[in-house]
Structure 1
Amino acid sequence: MQAVAACFLRYTRPGQSVVVGFSGGLDSSALLHAAACQAKESAIELSALHVHHGLSTNADAWADACQRVCKQLEVPLEVLRVDVPITTGEGVEAAARNVRHQALAGHSADWILLAHHAGDQAETVLHNLLRGAGVRGAAAMPESRGRVLRPLLGLPRDALQAYAEFHRLAWVEDESNADCRYTRNFLRHKVFPLIASRFPKAGQQLAAAASRFSEVDSLLEDLASLDLRGSPPEFPMSLGLFRDLPDTRSRNLLRAMLTWHQVQPPDECRLNEFVRQLRTTGNDRHPRIDLARYSLWCKAGHLHFKRQD
């Protein structure tokens, strides 16, 4: 509750609206309860959004449970039914996460509250590093980005469970959370217990490292802004911007551009090779890279970008 109150004090103003991403699970149940307790004191207009993926046979029951909790807390709830595309090449886990984020991003509230905690942060750092992400991936999740706030990032999941049990909260259990075919569940149930047996503070150390990487990432974004040399951060962009910079700053500029356009850069190997082609290819060649959510290609001395529908 103190973490939520401090987050409201840092970012919100009286009279603003805040929506909680509410799955009905332990983490978001603890967050919603704490936010409901603090909303009146902070003069915040609080609501909740439950994204109904329909991927589980229990999905309707979860939505009903969320309705009961919100009615008890006197928090307005919107249940949004969505379709999760399974042919994007991202996998069901990533596709569902993207749809959920899009649903929250489309909400009209001034602020969006998510229930990620220190354990989620540590898992995200390790996951991103293992899949070849760079500094931004290692920075994982910030407390604040745009309208999104994550007030529980400094708390271990044990603290959330203790809070929920103390306040006798009810929550639902998603059976897919035990399915180790999903990467994050594999890390949570198989990898982290093994690491923690040798390094008991691994979770805290990874979360702390994420904070330091986040500072570095902010500095690299500042450098990319300078390297645009007054050009707007928009596509198409001149290939000359890349060719006039050292390799490392060319790669940093492309990473920043993709981040500013709200897509994830490719893994380091593919990004490095693509930037090498941008810097060295002749006008008769047209380097191209196609990913699940967007495409990049060269034409007429410019780098083009298109988001996939």
Structure 2
Amino acid sequence: MLHKFQSHINTKFPFFKDKRLLIAISGGMDSVVLTYLCHELQLNIALAHCNFNLRGKESDADEDFVLQLAEDLDLEVFVESFDTNQYAKDYKRSIQMAARELRYNWFLELGDQLGFDYILTAHHADDNLETFLINFTRGTGLEGLTGIPEINGKFVRPLLPFSREDLETFAKEKHIEWRDDSSNASTKYLRNKLRHDVIPILKEINPNILRNFETTQLNLKDSQDIVADSIDAFLKKASHISKGSHAQFKISEFKRKHNPKAYLFEVFKDFGFTEWNDVLNLLDAQSGKQVFSEQWRLIKDRDYLLLSDIQTKTYEKISILKTDKNVEAPFGTLVFNDVDTVSESPKHTIYVDRDKLHFPLTLRTWEEGDVFFPLGMSGKKKLSKYFKDEKLSLLDKENTWLLCFGDDIVWVIGKRADDRFKVTENTKQILKIELK
């Protein structure tokens, strides 16, 4: 196996030779064999071990084993101890998910701090098949069926072409010792159930299943490349100029496709949406209709779908004193200056009669029922009606702030000033207010 591994490294990862590599090692057979293989090739490696404190003395024995292995091979080793149960409780995670987040976050932190170029994990062909079956049983797209990527950012899986049987044969031939995790024998978790109950039956039915599965995955990855090219071309037509913190997509481009649902899935699959029929129904829904994932939302806005993160912030009112010249706000900075004349002003600047204002002024977000007197008009208008006439999206309305004097609106910031405070021929003091 060593020769096959060396050939694989030379072909797929020739850049390893002059890089610093950090091996994620549990003490189990897979990661121990990876360590020995990389050591035999004289790669520049160090070890990183996580003690999740989930199995009492057994966890501590795993740590001791890794420390001894590092000493035997004269390798640098890093060990971190985690209170996994507390983390899972604090962040409402399963134990498996908590352990995954803890170790991957630590590996990345370690890599960045100490200058490791890549982090190697010992995932192999059997792990890849298990991941495929997990994704398949839960429901997934093409990406979920392509399995574990060989390279994902800093993480590299150089053992993916090799089976668990290959690793065990090598370990026994070289008289390599390893630690067995007792929790791996339990079928409590889906991955273990597949490993112990399902995959052995599949191998009995077809002893070449891993080789055939590798061919299938190569075909799926080729198809994935074709899909990616198609989506890139589609997005050049469908994506619109983004405004602020949200992205816009032309509904007409989705409707032109024979299967718009497939395109919706490919465009928005990375944002956590699961109710794809609801997403599809947005194409013909009334403006303002929304579909939510945990962190994102899609909004129907006339001829567009708007993608935005879910805003959880609530803003307090901001008080502005007469002496304030620069006022910081979530949307930018308001600058107040006394001037002698009025010049042509864009939407981000207004001029008002200072004598008509009494400080403190107030900055706040708009509320239902707000009314103002749009500059240049003789009557008043509800802000909701103004927004509708201006064809503002739900997101535009949510991000609209008001500059107020008491209950009166002085400026719908960045959009329209109030006529009651405008500069006239009788104005003695002109106040320029500019949004930067």
Residue 291 of structure 2 corresponds to residue 287 of structure 1 = yes
> Is the 1:139–1:213 contact (alpha carbons within 8 Å) kept by the matching residues of 2?
yes
Secondary structure in structure 1 of the residue aligned to 2:193: helix
Q: In terms of mean alpha carbon deviation, does 53-62 or 27-36 score higher?
A: 53-62
Cα offset for 1:148?
2.0
Counterparts in 2 of 1:127 and 1:37: CA distance versus 1, 3 Å: same
Alignment partners' CA distance in 1, 2:209 and 2:290: 45
Equivalent position of 1:56 in the other structure? 55
Alignment partners' CA distance in 1, 2:82 and 2:286: 45
Equivalent position of 1:2 in the other structure? 3
> What amino acid sits opposite 1:110 in the alignment?
D
Cα offset for 1:33?
0.7
Cα offset for 1:146?
2.2
Counterparts in 2 of 1:75 and 1:114: CA distance versus 1, 3 Å: same
> What amino acid sits opposite 2:267 in the alignment?
L
Equivalent position of 1:130 in the other structure? 137
Equivalent position of 2:195 in the other structure? 188
Secondary structure in structure 1 of the residue aligned to 2:159: coil
Cα offset for 1:158?
1.1
Residue 82 of structure 2 corresponds to residue 77 of structure 1 = no
Summarize deviations over 1:281-302 as a string: whole Å, max 9, x none: 3332222122xxxx22135752
Higher relative contact order (CA 8 A, sep 6+): 1
**For the pair shown, which has the larger CA radius of gyration, 1 or 2?**
2
Q: Looking at secondary structure, tell me which structure has more helix per residue.
A: 1
Counterparts in 2 of 1:272 and 1:182: CA distance versus 1, 3 Å: same
Cα offset for 1:190?
0.9
Summarize deviations over 1:19-40 as a string: whole Å, max 9, x none: 111111000000011111113x
Aligned pairs for 1:109-258 within 5 A: 109-229=116-236, 236-240=246-250, 244-245=253-254, 246=257, 247=260, 248-255=262-269, 257-258=270-271
> What amino acid sits opposite 2:246 in the alignment?
P
Aligned pairs for 1:262-301 within 5 A: 265=272, 270-290=274-294, 295-298=295-298
Cα offset for 1:153?
1.0
Secondary structure in structure 2 of the residue aligned to 1:303: strand
Cα offset for 1:68?
0.5
Alignment partners' CA distance in 1, 2:66 and 2:198: 31
Q: In terms of mean alpha carbon deviation, does 134-143 or 246-255 score higher?
A: 246-255
> What amino acid sits opposite 2:45 in the alignment?
L
Cα offset for 1:278?
4.1
Secondary structure in structure 1 of the residue aligned to 2:53: coil
Counterparts in 2 of 1:218 and 1:159: CA distance versus 1, 3 Å: same
Counterparts in 2 of 1:202 and 1:61: CA distance versus 1, 3 Å: same
Alignment partners' CA distance in 2, 1:90 and 1:2: 41
Alignment partners' CA distance in 1, 2:64 and 2:291: 50
Alignment partners' CA distance in 2, 1:196 and 1:162: 17
Secondary structure in structure 1 of the residue aligned to 2:217: helix
- The correspondence for 2:101, drawn from 84, 98, 106, is 98
> Is the 2:22–2:120 contact (alpha carbons within 8 Å) kept by the matching residues of 1?
yes
Secondary structure in structure 2 of the residue aligned to 1:163: helix
> Is the 2:279–2:291 contact (alpha carbons within 8 Å) kept by the matching residues of 1?
no
Cα offset for 1:229?
1.7
> What amino acid sits opposite 1:32 in the alignment?
T
Cα offset for 1:60?
1.6
The alignment-based identity, stated in percent, is 22
Alignment partners' CA distance in 1, 2:311 and 2:147: 23
Give the alignment's TM-score, normalised by structure 2. 0.60
> Is the 1:250–1:275 contact (alpha carbons within 8 Å) kept by the matching residues of 2?
yes
Cα offset for 1:204?
2.9
> Is the 2:21–2:46 contact (alpha carbons within 8 Å) kept by the matching residues of 1?
yes
Q: Looking at secondary structure, tell me which structure has more strand per residue.
A: 2
> What amino acid sits opposite 2:37 in the alignment?
A
Summarize deviations over 1:258-284 as a string: whole Å, max 9, x none: 4xxxxxx55xxx252243144333332
Gaps of 5+ in 1: 259-264
> What amino acid sits opposite 1:132 in the alignment?
G
> Is the 1:36–1:75 contact (alpha carbons within 8 Å) kept by the matching residues of 2?
no
Secondary structure in structure 2 of the residue aligned to 1:100: helix
Q: In terms of mean alpha carbon deviation, does 98-107 or 297-306 score higher?
A: 297-306
> What amino acid sits opposite 2:253 in the alignment?
D
Cα offset for 1:233?
12
Alignment partners' CA distance in 2, 1:277 and 1:236: 20
> Is the 1:3–1:151 contact (alpha carbons within 8 Å) kept by the matching residues of 2?
no
Alignment partners' CA distance in 2, 1:222 and 1:203: 29
Summarize deviations over 1:49-99 as a string: whole Å, max 9, x none: 112222221212111111110111111111122343435565322332233
Aligned pairs, number: 289
Alignment partners' CA distance in 2, 1:151 and 1:51: 20
Secondary structure in structure 1 of the residue aligned to 2:197: helix
Cα offset for 1:144?
2.1
Secondary structure in structure 1 of the residue aligned to 2:18: coil
Counterparts in 2 of 1:254 and 1:298: CA distance versus 1, 3 Å: closer
Counterparts in 2 of 1:145 and 1:4: CA distance versus 1, 3 Å: farther
Q: In terms of mean alpha carbon deviation, does 62-71 or 106-115 score higher?
A: 106-115
> Is the 1:251–1:271 contact (alpha carbons within 8 Å) kept by the matching residues of 2?
no
